[in-house]
Amino acid sequence: MSIPRRHLSAALFSLAFLLPQYTWSDSTKLTLNDKDYFEQPGLNVMVFSNWYDGLFSDSKTSGVELIHHGLRTATNGDVRLNATPEQWDMTPLFKERKINRAEQSIEAFMYYPNEKFDFSIKVTKNETGVRIAVNLPKPLPASLEGKAGFNLEFLPSAYFHQAFMMDTTTGTFPIYPGGAKEVNGSAEPTLLANGKHLVLAPNNTERRVSIESNSTPLELYDGRGKAQNGWFVVRSKIPAGKSGAVIEWQLNAGTIKDWVRTPVIGHSQVGYHPAQQKVAVIELDKNDKTNPPAKLFKIAADGSETLVLEKTLGNWGRYLRYEYRQFDFSKVQEEGLYKIVYGDQQAGPFRIAKDVYTSAWFPSLDMYLPIQMDHVTVNEAYRVWHGVSHLDDALQAPVNHEHFDLYRQGPTTDTPYKPGEHIPGLDIGGWFDAGDYDIRTQTNYDVVMNLVNTWERFGIKRDVTSVDYKKRFVDLHVADGKPDLLQQIEHGTLGLIAQHRAVGHAIHGIVEAHIDQYTHLGDAITKTDNLVYDSSKKEGESDGVKSGNFDDRWAFTSKSTPLNYGSIAALAAASRALKGYNDELAAECLATAKKVWDEENAKAKPDSFHHGNTTGGRLEDEKVKAATELLIATGDQKYSKAIEKLLPTKPMDFAIRLPWLMRAMPHMPSDYTAKMRKFAEGYKKAMAVNEAKNPYGVTITEGGWAGNSFVIRGAINNYYLHKAFPDLVDREAVFKGITYLYGTHPAHNLSFVSNVGTHAKEVAYGMNRADFSFIPGGVVPGVLVLKPDYPENHEDWPFFWGENEYVVDEAAVHIFLANAVADLLKE
């Protein structure tokens, strides 16, 4: 590590004494680049390059942000109304951003509409770093005095085991929070320190940041006392009665001279089948001018290593902010353990073997799906993942009510039940949607359909889990003589059919009524008292059956035709899989699906209620799913005629409907195959444009939720296309999707499936995220691309839901994809 050049900072004054001077690297290299952020080796300063997430409010991806030696360590530099804001606390609205290259400044203009409060945040490059100024056109409204302040949040995991200095006071950053938390409007959080000059990690150049306030005091807080996903917050309150530049900070950051990011060797942590292409992708800092040869070594039992391939790599080119090289070692087919060496970096060990995909999906079926099962106890040897949960489901949601997690009830209940009334029969089946505990119907029916597809195509009869509905007890690693896949299909189906039994149609889902319940981290059995709420009883009063505790979840029940179609598609599919296993349920599912199809098609117009992502997909997409599953289940040609009417007109429409359109092919008229081939040709061309943009050969999305779902489902689409048109789509188009998932991707090389591969995600956003732990077999969203060019996936901080939150349907498609790859390798 080279020693940074030293520059004297400005003299720092606090009260009557002179503060020590600090040394920093050459900040004259910090420039406003063509992507509109400040840049130098080892440091980027971004100013509102991204905005707060539209789906889930504050997602820690906006305001003034620091990317410090490759890691995004600070975010949310903005005026906030709380010292330690949590996810749903108010954020300002964005007006515009002005870039002044002559002045080397970026200024963002925001406002709080309800408070009629306008302000701007201006960041200007200067001799030692950047000046951050909060500007007010007029004084702070009286209602916000003592509340509004400029906050800058620092990633806790980046400062664990580090110290700080506030003026002459010293301290260390706690691993775990302590002290009183902030209670909005009534209690201030405990200060870690206050003063005029703060230095974070003074003895660590990689993380050292200095903040000096010219007049308003600095306050340092630990936001984790309020919420586990909180950050360390540096804050200055806005003074009353002043306008203009009311807060001015000088921010300097230590940088290692000529810093270059360590190369990342992207490869499959699971390994490779001898017959597939094997391409590692080397991700490089754009300033990395070295080009050592890439080497592949085979590892022997005695620990010795044999060089089997060495290549000097050409430059693939730039993707986002990094340069890339590809190391193709496809010709190596001998089975064994291997590692890749590039310069002083090593990656491995990984396998080359014919059975690499045989067990890759086991954790998703054996562990993740059963752990997510609601309304049962889930036991594993000496451990209970959660007790029997939500036996008090569910109360009718109030009308005209918008929930904080994308649910909404319309002007009527669309059920026989009054708002707040218990809806019996909903306390069975279903999976927790994600890292929270709601049952989202759209997710659940997607899981059922994908599990049925896996059952019908691959016939998996693996049995390592015991399910006892009489006892509401699930035991992991204990066989019960029944295929686990069928048991999971049954569990999801019970949750879906319960909705039709209870209210006659699919409902959006079942979710906690209160935020303090929704944010619950721990055993699901402790979320409620499992007793049906009785409003006539006092809080805490119970007769053993009902209680006065309003902790029951709400059922959101507004009618939605797309949701109904998606639900009956799963019921029709399940009727086939469950035949011979649970014949009574199978018959009920098919009868319900046929009945609801006829009812929906008899309507003068569909029920178009829509909100968030809980009311089904697009009408045409969901209807294709229902028609296809009913066609396969019944052979009735009225469903094939419906499919013909819903053939897509755009490549993206075809992409969404592709699995169903292709699976319908054997049941359709003779000219249907030719139509599908034409659609497939257009789809292939459209996808090729996206896949050529990066060195991984897949489509990497750039939304607020990372793109593993698109990658997995794109690979599954390619599987169906290859099976139908092998001359049009090569099987390698499927393999690229799974190797991406297993480690050949930007940012790092971990497998995105926990417990799958040599090095896989161990810190993720599941029900145990507060413990910085993981759930085996869970699939995380993956690489989040922050504008304009920063790919990110944190392994040291689980609370980024857009990067790290498990979602149950991704485990289901992972099971299908791994089996699809194994199937193709038999060709």
Please, which residues have CB within 8 angstroms of residue 423's CB and are 6 or more apart in sequence? 394, 395, 396, 415, 417, 502, 503, 555, 557
Residue 541 lies in a domain: yes
Q: Are strands 377-380 and 473-476 parallel, antiparallel or unpaired?
A: parallel
Distance (Å, whole) CA 315 – CA 306: 26
Q: How many domains are there within the chain?
A: 3
Q: Cβ atoms within 10 A of the Cβ of 578, count?
A: 24
Q: Using CA atoms, how far apart are residues 731 and 363, in angstroms rounded to an integer?
A: 25
**Residues 390 and 241 placed together within one structural domain of the fold:** no
Q: Do residues 515 and 568 both lie within one domain?
A: yes
Is residue 601 in some structural domain? yes
Q: Are 344 and 365 in a shared domain?
A: no
Task: Please tell me the distance from the alpha carbon of residue 756 to that of residue 359, in angstroms, as a whole number.
Answer: 9
How far apart are the C-alpha atoms of 408 and 414, rounded to whole Å?
13
Q: What are phi and psi of 661, to 5 degrees?
A: -60, -40
Q: What is the dihedral of CA 768, 773, 779, 781, to 10 degrees?
A: 90
Give yes or no for a contact between 43 and 253, defined as CB atoms under 8 angstroms apart. Answer: yes
Q: For 679-701, what is each residue's pLDDT tens digit?
A: 999 999 999 999 999 999 999 99
- Identify the pLDDT of residue 8: 29
pLDDT at 18: 33
683-690, long-range: CB < 8 A, 24+ apart: 683/651, 683/654, 683/655, 683/658, 683/717, 683/721, 684/721, 684/728, 684/729, 685/651, 686/651, 686/652, 687/651, 687/655, 687/714
**CATH assignment at residue 556:** 1.50.10.10
Do 170 and 248 lie in one domain? The reply is yes
Other C-beta atoms closer than 10 Å to the C-beta of 801 total: 27
Residue 368 is given by DSSP the state I
**Cα–Cα nearest to 157, from 762, 793, 798, 749:** 798
List all residues 6 or more positions away from 516 whose beta carbon is below 8 Å from its beta carbon.
none
For 5, other C-beta atoms within 10 Å of its C-beta total 15
58 token code pair: 């504050």
DSSP states of 646-687 as a string?
Answer: T--SSHHHHHHHHHHHHHTGGGS-TTHHHHHHHHHHHHHHHH
The answer to whether residue 772 is domain-embedded is no
Which residues neighbour 103 within 8 Å (Cβ) at sequence distance 6 or greater? 124
Query: 637-670: string of b/e by CB count within 10 Å (b at 16+)?
Result: eebbebbeebbbeebebbbbbbbbbbbbeebbee
- DSSP alpha helices (H): ranges in 459-560? 484-503, 515-518
Position 182 in a domain: yes
Residues 247 and 268 in one domain: no
pLDDT attached to residue 17: 29
Q: How far apart are CA 78 and CA 119, in angstroms?
A: 10
536 shares a domain with 490: yes
Q: Is the dihedral of CA 58, 61, 66, 67 positive or negative?
A: positive
- Full domain range(s) for residue 343: 264-352
Cα torsion 19, 39, 203, 162: sign? positive
Q: Residue with structure tokens 């029997």?
A: 388
Q: What is the CATH number of the domain that holds 305?
A: 2.60.40.10
Note whether 455 and 548 are same-domain residues. yes
The reply to whether 826 falls in a domain is no
CB atoms within 10 A of CB 675: 15
Q: Is residue 810 part of a domain?
A: no
Q: 386 is written with which tokens?
A: 């959660």
The residue to which tokens 């009727």 are assigned: 575
Question: Residue 247 maps to which CATH number?
Answer: 2.70.98
What's the pLDDT at 52?
85
- Domain end residue (candidates: 615, 645, 674): 615
728-769 pLDDT per residue, tens: 999 999 999 999 999 999 999 999 999 999 999 999 999 999
pLDDT at 650: 87
Say how many C-beta atoms besides its own lie within 10 A of residue 67's C-beta. Answer: 21
Judgement on whether residues 376 and 513 belong to the same structural domain of the protein: yes
Question: What residues of the chain score a pLDDT lower than 70?
Answer: 1-28, 54-55
Decide if 802 contacts 764 (C-beta within 8 A): no
Strands 163-166, 197-200: pairing kind = antiparallel
Burial label for 291, CB within 10 Å (0-12, 13-18, 19+), is middle
| CA 710 centroid distance within chain | 12
Residue 302: Cβ within 10 Å count: 5
Of 352, 370, 390, the one marking the end of a domain is 352
DSSP state for residue 817 in the 8-state scheme: H
Distance from the Cα of residue 404 to its chain's centroid: 18
Residues 6+ apart with CB under 8 A from 470: none
| pLDDT for the residue numbered 55 | 64
Is 587 inside any structural domain? yes
Rounded to an integer, what distance in angstroms lies between the CA atom of residue 385 and that of residue 365? 15
Same domain, 279 and 338: yes
Other Cβ atoms closer than 10 A to 100: 12
Q: Do 491 and 576 sit in the same domain of this protein?
A: yes
Give rounded-to-5 percent helix, strand, coil for the chain.
Answer: 25, 25, 45
Polymer length of the chain: 827
CA 417 to chain centroid, in Å, comes to: 35
* Token pair in block for residue 665: 């092919």
| Same domain, yes or no: 173 and 210 | yes
Could you tell me if residue 662 is inside a domain? no
- Positive or negative torsion for Cα 192, 196, 201, 206: positive
* Nearest alpha carbon to residue 462 among 484, 479, 487: 484
Distance from the first to the final alpha carbon of the chain: 51
Q: Is 576 helix (H, G, I), strand (E, B) or coil?
A: helix
CA 62/CA 240 separation, integer angstroms:
26
β-bridge mates for residue 299, sequence order = 305, 337
Looking up tokens 């189906």 gives 493
Integer CA distances (angstroms), 592 to 128, 135, 137, 501, in order: 70, 62, 62, 9
CA dist 135 and 100 (Å) reads 16
Same domain? 160 vs 270 = no
Boundary (domain end) residue, out of 253, 277, 312: 253
| Phi, psi angles (nearest 5°) of residue 761 | -60, 120
Q: What is the DSSP letter of 75?
A: E
Strands (E), 404-494: 408-409, 439-440, 465-468, 473-476
Which residues have a Cβ under 8 Å from the Cβ of 580 and sit 6 or more positions away? none
Token pair, residue 287, equals 């300033």
Token pair listed for 52? 């707060």
pLDDT at 2: 33
68: phi then psi, degrees, rounded to nearest 5: -115, 110
Strand partners, 760: 751
pLDDT value of position 651? 85
CA atoms within 13 Å, Cβ hemisphere of 485: 22
Contact 78/62 with Cβ under 8 angstroms? Answer: yes
